[in-house]
Amino acid sequence: MAGNELKLTLRKSAIGSTDKIRQTLTGLGLTRTHKTMIRKDTPEIRGMVAKVRHLVDVEEI
């Protein structure tokens, strides 16, 4: 973990995804395509990102 924050960008739509995936995206603050959020790099956030890794881009800052 080089940085202490993660820059998360929703790259694909959640249409067709399960409710759990949509709830995870909402929990991360990613509600629209191409929206970017900065979150602290914690194990909880890393776990959420792992569930939606096929929909988001992650960058350490």
Residue 29 lies in domain: 5-60
Tokens at 58, concatenated: 């992650």
Q: How many domains does the chain have?
A: 1
* Distance of alpha carbon 2 from alpha carbon 33, whole angstroms: 27
Query: pTM of this prediction?
Result: 0.89
CATH of the domain at 36: 3.30.1390.20
Q: Provide the residue-wise pLDDT of the chain in tens; the chain has 61 residues.
A: 457 999 999 999 999 999 999 999 999 999 999 999 999 999 999 999 999 999 999 999 9
CA dihedral sign of residues 21, 57, 44, 40:
negative
